[in-house]
Structure 1
């Protein structure tokens, strides 16, 4: 009897409670919450996705998968989602479940990719003949431990001096910066509209990738922020110079972490400063003083500016499961 059962992903709502139960058995990541997953599937799915469930009425593992051509499948993961969609009981090992899942998928696939996994959520497995892992990106976090003053003094002298110089410049220009924190669901529609205007003022508008309230990206972020705010787990940081919005962060939280999903700033209204940096200095101070969460997670690729704010870096990884041990050598994955 096949231990895995496949359903069209359009039926995900029927199984979302079981999905969330598995998520909660682990680290209960906001990025794997059905409130984040369901809008992504509806707005960015192709209709070919499958929901795979191991364990019948008491699931041991669940995954959202999509075909990648004739010989492969991988976890569903649009660009708006930092992690591939897989949840499982903490004691379950990849090597114990991927072979049977690979054999359960239609089309006789020879490779199954589990994309962008966080070692803090699921430890990276050892390689074997039929299972390989590879580095994806390095990502950064800030642990909210101790006082903000201690954290700030541990930053580099250049960052601290630069922030002081920028604030003095704002005083000289007669501009008053102000941090606003939005946490109510009814404010999210306007927040996403404001965010879209910031993105439209910059290079993303030229490339056609900017958020607009009425495009799929705008609908996605509005829906997830409204849903998380309704549970006290969403917030938007909006930074002003006088009466002009100059920077914004769109964020969601779980029990332990604040996750920064998207950042934008007004290039035309920066006045020679970095509004996003100024906003972060104040928002991070608020998070330290609030003392309600343990971490700030970026989840994007580590860039030089991240290293000014933290030295906590880890590597996200992919897992590839193969039907036969000789396939990795054929594909150059040994």
Structure 2
């Protein structure tokens, strides 16, 4: 088992190798080379490394890593990446891979961290020896089985009644709602610009985190979704009240799932209407009917509205591999002491 390290700026040279491993591993769309390449283009600092592990003449693991302080490395994790950028064959021994990797990283690495791991894709190991894990977030999915009507009847009565009432209100006001799905690469730039206008009109604009056609986020989503749409694996959902765009989803797809990456809505819509929920109902009805995917993945932190749509929740995790077991125990002890330290009470 041998790891080699090169600057991540050379990722394009190894893109085909990453794509082959991604296919062999049966990995999520969020780890595909055309998802990763624009992440590096827009969000890398230049200090990242591409790590490649070979064994017996075959590639068994690859990762994008960044320095995280003295003696520490973690997977490259921009906010736009829901999963840590780590690929391995399912049969590969994760502990053995990390043991070999920590010995090769520059600066006498003491710990390497894999961030935002999905237990459905890489089962969570028990804390033992050099390995320690901790919870990241709970995330939700919807299994697309049994037909939409059975799924919808299983939802809460209040949700169904509320959305029925909203549709009756729209009908009374002469407003015709419409769901549009964009899959053509030449339509992506305009769709992302529309998304940016929706998001920039809300609370994210004040925080400077909104997508814009002119910022790094907008450039990332445009380049990535164009690439996915070129191979028939990207979709952008637009929801309209008549001629007014009121909600959008940005999505990527693989053979099993459709992943909702980003959702935005027009915050000036009256509070007695929920354009995102109305869009979600129509999109779910369509996806159940198409039978193209086995599940909808959200990958964000579980919110109250997610629990109206599903009770399928799992906990994502971070994994640390320490050069020595004692270092992991010391780290855990220090973290426990920090957590137990009383917080200062603000003065009146």
Normalising to structure 1: TM-score of the pair? 0.97
Q: Once the 2 structures are TM-superposed, how far is the Cα of residue 71 of structure 1 from its aligned partner?
A: 1.6
Contact kept, 8 Å, 1:99 with 1:321, in 2: the verdict is yes
Q: Distance in 1 between matches of 2:270 and 2:97?
A: 51
Contact kept, 8 Å, 1:28 with 1:255, in 2: the verdict is no
Which position in structure 1 is the counterpart of 2:172? 172
| Matches for 1:1-334 after TM superposition, within 5 Å | 3-55=2-54, 58-270=58-270, 272-332=272-332
Q: Secondary structure at the match of 1:80?
A: coil
Instruction: Indicate the larger mover: 52-61 or 284-293.
Output: 52-61
Q: Once the 2 structures are TM-superposed, how far is the Cα of residue 270 of structure 1 from its aligned partner?
A: 4.2
Q: Which runs of 5+ in 2 are unaligned?
A: 337-348
1:269-291 deviation per Cα after TM superposition (whole angstroms, max 9, x unaligned): 34620100000000110001011
1:49-105 deviation per Cα after TM superposition (whole angstroms, max 9, x unaligned): 001111175211111100011120000010000011100111112211111101100
Instruction: Indicate the larger mover: 148-157 or 267-276.
Output: 267-276
Q: Distance in 2 between matches of 1:61 and 1:67?
A: 19
Contact kept, 8 Å, 2:22 with 2:32, in 1: the verdict is yes
Q: Which runs of 5+ in 1 are unaligned?
A: none
Q: Distance in 1 between matches of 2:216 and 2:151?
A: 38
Contact kept, 8 Å, 1:246 with 1:270, in 2: the verdict is no
Q: Please, what is the CA RMSD of the aligned residues?
A: 1.3
Q: Distance in 2 between matches of 1:27 and 1:158?
A: 39
1:137-165 deviation per Cα after TM superposition (whole angstroms, max 9, x unaligned): 11000011121111100101011011011
Q: Distance in 1 between matches of 2:89 and 2:51?
A: 15
Which position in structure 1 is the counterpart of 2:344? none
Q: Distance in 2 between matches of 1:125 and 1:137?
A: 17
Normalising to structure 2: TM-score of the pair? 0.93
Aligned positions, number: 333
Q: Distance in 2 between matches of 1:128 and 1:271?
A: 50
Contact kept, 8 Å, 2:139 with 2:313, in 1: the verdict is yes
Q: Distance in 1 between matches of 2:52 and 2:270?
A: 50
